[in-house]
Every structure is written in structure tokens, then in C-alpha cells.
Structure 1
Amino acid sequence: MKYNHIGIPTKERFEGEIDLPKLKMTVSDHKNNDFGIQWQRYWENAPYPDLVKTVPHIAFEVDDLDKALKDQKVIISPNSPSKGLIVAFIEVNGAPVELMCYEKL
């Protein structure tokens, strides 16, 4: 696994907001800082578990998403938020963890 970012949920507006209507959320660019910090504001009708909408998560890139999900508690099934990327969320010790798998070119 390779660290990608930390997602921090907030209800407040933040600098550099990027609206993602398909995902029903607003984010900041995690690449605009050396630590991969991404602010996230979920829209009222966002279909995600409260755990994901209220507790910060760590995101890791994995080579094989199916293998990484084996024997894990999946709380958001694999889906594609953008072309070439498949993500899923698991719960580990009460915290959300995002697993990301980029398509091999």
C-alpha cells in the first residue's frame, strides 16, 4: 500500500473548493500541499455512511483492490469516482479507510 491522502470532513466552506456533483460533495485538492490533506464537505443528500461523513479517513493506493478488500468490513463498495480509478471504503478499528486502485496503462 502507498499513502495517497487524508480526507477531513467539515461542514464549513474552505479555500479552493471543488464541487463534485456526481459524488454529491465538495473537496479541496489534496495535491496542493506536501501532506495530501483534503478537506471534504458532503452535500445534504450524499449517500455515504455517517462514519465517512464525520470521521477523517486515510487513503491508500493498492495494486489489487479485490485482494485488499478480502476479509475486510466494506462500508462503501467498489465504485469509480473518475476515469481510471476504482475506490472502496473499509472500516478498521472504528475508522474509515479508503482503498484506491488506478488502472494500469
Structure 2
Amino acid sequence: MKPDVTYTFHHFGIPLQDGLSEGTHSEKAGMYTADNPGKFRVQWHRFTDESPLHPLLKTVPHVAFKVDNLSKAIEGEDVILGPYEPIDDFFVAVINDNGVPIELIETTLTDEEIWGRARSGQGNLYRK
């Protein structure tokens, strides 16, 4: 963590290798994402065999933080994904923190807007 960047918990992602095709599908990422119906922000991620994503993302759970400056947050880090805009107005990069993927997000969207757009497949991640 960098002292001049504000980090706020956003969600926790858990990769599954159960062979199911449940959730919102992204052909680009070769991934299905489903929200846990519980009270806390947990997502289940399932990957196709053709998924181009980094092996850490497909095998190790990740925590995601909203940051106030994505460029500063990733400066000098081992970036394994992005930065990119998977959902309109939602910028993401994933870093490798000594074998653990950490997702960093910069956005002005509310959580309701973020989750609504993700569930409905709105954004670059879902466009062909």
C-alpha cells in the first residue's frame, strides 16, 4: 500500500474450477462471474479453458480495493492485468502482491451502478 493512495475494500473474488458455466459471461476474459447472494461482496469466478487471464487470477482468490488514484497505486508494481475499463466508467488494474492478485479500481460510480452494470453485462468486458 502506498501512503499517498486511499484504499477502500470493494469485494472479494474466488476462482472456481468446478466446470460450471454460471454467471455473467465475458467471452474476452473467458470467464463467468456470479455474485454470492449473501450480505457481503463476494464474487465467484469460473474460467473457460481458453481464458487468456493470468494464472494467478484463475487459481488464487483476490481482494479488490477502490483507490483514489489508480496510476499512483500501480506505480512500480507487478501489473498482471490492465489497466483497462471492463465496465463503462470503471477502471481496473490487477497487481501481483507476492503471489496474491490484488484488484485496484478507480471509479466515480456508486456500488449500485457498478453491480448493476456488471450483472447486466454492460461494458467493454462483455462486448465482442
TM-score by length of 1: 0.86
Identity of aligned residues (%): 36
The equivalent of 1:23 in structure 2 is 29
The equivalent of 2:78 in structure 1 is 73
The equivalent of 1:7 in structure 2 is 13
TM-score by length of 2: 0.72
Structure 2 stretches lacking a partner, 5+ long: 1-6, 110-128
Maintained 8 Å contact 1:23/1:81? no
Does residue 58 (structure 1) correspond to residue 54 (structure 2)? The answer is: no
Does residue 97 (structure 1) correspond to residue 82 (structure 2)? The answer is: no
Maintained 8 Å contact 1:26/1:41? yes
Amino acid at match of 2:75: K
CA RMSD of aligned residues (A): 1.8
Of Structure 1 and Structure 2, which has the larger fraction of its residues in strand? Answer: 1
Query: Is the partner of 2:68 in helix, strand or coil?
Result: coil
Alignment match of 1:34 (pick from 39, 50, 56) = 39
Please say which structure displays the higher CA radius of gyration. Answer: 2
Amino acid at match of 1:90: I
Of Structure 1 and Structure 2, which has the larger fraction of its residues in helix? Answer: 2
Structure 1 runs of 4+ aligned residues shifted over 4 Å read none
Deviations 1:2-51 (A, max 9, x none): 1111110002238x622222432101125x43221100001221111111
The equivalent of 2:89 in structure 1 is 84
Query: Is the partner of 1:68 in helix, strand or coil?
Result: helix
